[in-house]
Amino acid sequence: MATEQSNSASLLSHNVETSQLKVHRIGIIMNGVTGRMGTNQHLIHSILSIMKSGGITLSDDSIIMPDPILVGRNHIKLAALASTHGLTRYTTDLDEALKDSYNVIYFDAQTTNRRVEAVKKAIEAGKHIYIEKPIATTTSEALQLYELAKEKGVKHGVVQDKLFLPGLLKLQRLIKSDFFGSILSVRGEFGYWVFDGINDGGIIPQRPSWNYRIEEGGGIIADMLCHWRYVIDNVFGQVTSISCLGATHISERIDEQGKKYEVTADDAAYAHFTTKNGIVVSWNSSWTTRVRRDDLLTIQVDGTKGSAVVGLRECWVQHESVTPRPIWNPDNDNPLDYKENWTKVPDQNARSWDNAFRVQWEMFLRYVVTNEPYKNDLLEGAKGVQLADLGIKSWKERRWIDIPDL
Ligand SMILES: NC(=O)c1ccc[n+]([C@@H]2O[C@H](COP(=O)([O-])OP(=O)(O)OC[C@H]3O[C@@H](n4cnc5c(N)ncnc54)[C@H](O)[C@@H]3O)[C@@H](O)[C@H]2O)c1
């Protein structure tokens, strides 16, 4: 076991007060930080980015400054990651990191099936909890984490990054300003081609192999339906029922060691949802589709007064007053350019959009330090797991399923 702790005096006390500035230093245990999400989104684009920009400003004379300790299995990888980013705190010993009262938040971006055990330990150690989705592999375990956190009185949150993407923020603003009139239906298309490494002449697959093994917590239904749950609940209306068809379209892939393995998890999901306010939602998720649309995720919203197509960063709208009048006639060349008469929603905020993960980290850190309201908690995370569980049940039983309140 290797444990390195910061020798920088400025990092040793929780709150440092100088004559000008009060600094709330927050030790954050980052477990699974050598993975794709851990390194890129959470360490580089969120925590390091906050640190580099001077912390989070609370007032003229007080800031929050996060201080990560990197946790993982592989000492060499951790040391390399730490040194690349000028960090000194890293360890392969989670229990040691949990014992240290300087660390007040436990963050987890490990593979999904390792999450529950580690989060339980962290709650037991009295740490505030902020974790990747899905928060567990079953609804009952997810609810158990929520109950444990509540009992222990620690603060808790789940990553719900899609809500903070520029495209989705623009959409939420359109809904607030009643652009759509009555929203009738929503069509989500998510996905792209993930190379299998076999039939494509050895192109390296761009997702980890555990995603394609159900026994390791993989599967696109488990992975994506928890995202669609919070998007639909928060943006359109509470999800009330689901019908889902899963599929494993590609049965063999190449793993990180170049070895062929059998795919045991679903790699595509074709789902329908209804909402409490009567909106019909259909949503495809696929790692086996090639993209000829505006973005890797597009959401088309059709309302009585207007429609929108939302991508990760952009949003295009068409008002009823400029809606063309197509007439079905396959015998003639099409006279209409269907992409005309759509307007790109401008960046009205007059500032560059912050990374969605960073936005949410800032919210959670403010919640921990100043008790600002924070609603993306473990109960919300459990709802995502519930939708995935019921999606799989719907597929296996070939039927619609109502979603009970949690
Ligand atoms: N919010 C999002 O948009 C989003 C996107 C992708 C993934 N995720 C979630 O993030 C989590 C990580 O996904 P990823 O794509 O970064 O995966 P990854 O395989 O790149 O990383 C997984 C991490 O877990 C660690 N790990 C794996 N097996 C372990 C073991 N036996 N013991 C200890 N550590 C182990 C790895 O070392 C690595 O640090 C998953 O739960 C996934 O659902 C979220």
Question: What is the structure's pLDDT at 320?
Answer: 97
Question: Which ligand 1 atom is the nearest neighbour of the CA of 37?
Answer: 16
Render pLDDT for 101-127 as a digit per residue (tens, 0 to 9): 999 999 999 999 999 999 999 999 999
CA 8 – CA 156 distance, rounded (Å): 29
Name the percent of the chain lying above pLDDT 90: 92
Name the percent of the chain lying above pLDDT 70: 95
> Is the peptide bond preceding residue 208 cis, with omega within 30 degrees of 0?
no
Nearest CA to ligand 1 atom 21: 35
280: pLDDT strictly greater than 90: yes
CA 189 – CA 283 distance, rounded (Å): 6
Token pair in block for residue 133: 């989705």
Question: What is the structure's pLDDT at 351?
Answer: 63
Among 41, 77, 110, the mutation site with the greatest number of ligand 1 atoms within 8 A of its Cβ is 110
Question: What is the structure's pLDDT at 60?
Answer: 94
Whether residue 282 contacts residue 297, with contact meaning beta carbons closer than 8 Å, is answered with no
Report the pLDDT averaged over residues 61-72. Answer: 98
Question: What is the structure's pLDDT at 9?
Answer: 32
Q: Residue 398 C-alpha to ligand 1 middle, in angstroms?
A: 31
Question: What is the structure's pLDDT at 18?
Answer: 60
Question: Which ligand 1 atom is the nearest neighbour of the CA of 223?
Answer: 43
Question: Which ligand 1 atom is the nearest neighbour of the CA of 357?
Answer: 1
Q: Which residues sit opposite 107 in a β-bridge?
A: 30, 130
Average pLDDT, the chain: 94
Nearest CA to ligand 1 atom 4: 37
- Of the candidates 294, 285, 290, 291, the one whose C-alpha atom is nearest the C-alpha of residue 242 is 285
**Structure-token match 């209409």, residue found:** 336
Q: Which residues sit opposite 62 in a β-bridge?
A: 22, 59
Report the pLDDT averaged over residues 67-74. Answer: 98
- Report residue 60 CA to chain centroid gap: 32
Question: Which ligand 1 atom is the nearest neighbour of the CA of 115?
Answer: 41
Render pLDDT for 137-155 as a digit per residue (tens, 0 to 9): 999 999 999 999 999 999 9
Question: What is the structure's pLDDT at 19?
Answer: 62
Backbone angles phi, psi at 104, to 5 degrees: -105, -15
> What is the value of pTM for the model shown?
0.94
Q: Residue 112 C-alpha to ligand 1 middle, in angstroms?
A: 7
Question: What is the structure's pLDDT at 17?
Answer: 62
361: pLDDT strictly greater than 70: yes
Token pair in block for residue 156: 């808790």
Among 75, 111, 359, the mutation site with the greatest number of ligand 1 atoms within 8 A of its Cβ is 111
Question: What is the structure's pLDDT at 381?
Answer: 98
Whether residue 171 contacts residue 345, with contact meaning beta carbons closer than 8 Å, is answered with no
Confidence bin at 171 (pLDDT 50/70/90)? very high
Question: Which ligand 1 atom is the nearest neighbour of the CA of 112?
Answer: 41
- Of the candidates 347, 375, 305, 340, the one whose C-alpha atom is nearest the C-alpha of residue 167 is 347
Confidence bin at 347 (pLDDT 50/70/90)? confident
Question: What is the structure's pLDDT at 267?
Answer: 98
Question: What is the structure's pLDDT at 1?
Answer: 40
Question: What is the structure's pLDDT at 355?
Answer: 95
CA 132 – CA 315 distance, rounded (Å): 26
Nearest CA to ligand 1 atom 6: 37
- Where is pLDDT greater, at 17 or 327? 327
393: pLDDT strictly greater than 80: yes
**DSSP per residue, 2-68:** -EE----GGGSSSEEE-SS-EEEEEEEEEETTTSHIIIIIIIIIIIIHHHHTTSEEEETTEEEEEEE
Q: Give the least confident one: 5-14, 169-178, 294-303, 338-347.
A: 5-14
Render pLDDT for 5-25 as a digit per residue (tens, 0 to 9): 433 333 334 666 666 899 999
Q: Residue 204 C-alpha to ligand 1 middle, in angstroms?
A: 18
Nearest CA to ligand 1 atom 18: 35
Question: What is the structure's pLDDT at 7?
Answer: 33
Confidence bin at 350 (pLDDT 50/70/90)? low
Q: Kind of pairing, strands 103-108 and 22-31?
A: parallel
Question: Which ligand 1 atom is the nearest neighbour of the CA of 31?
Answer: 39
Render pLDDT for 195-224 as a digit per residue (tens, 0 to 9): 999 988 889 999 999 999 999 999 999 999
What one-letter code names the amino acid at 255?
A: D
Q: Which domains does the chain have, with CATH numbers?
A: 3-162+358-376 (3.40.50.720), 163-353+383-402 (3.30.360.10)
Backbone angles phi, psi at 6, to 5 degrees: -60, 135
Question: What is the structure's pLDDT at 3?
Answer: 44
Q: Residue 288 C-alpha to ligand 1 middle, in angstroms?
A: 21
Using a 6 Å CB cutoff, which residues line ligand 1? Answer: 32, 34-38, 72-73, 109-112, 114, 132-134, 159, 161, 208, 210, 223
Report the pLDDT averaged over residues 261-280. Answer: 98
2: pLDDT strictly greater than 90: no
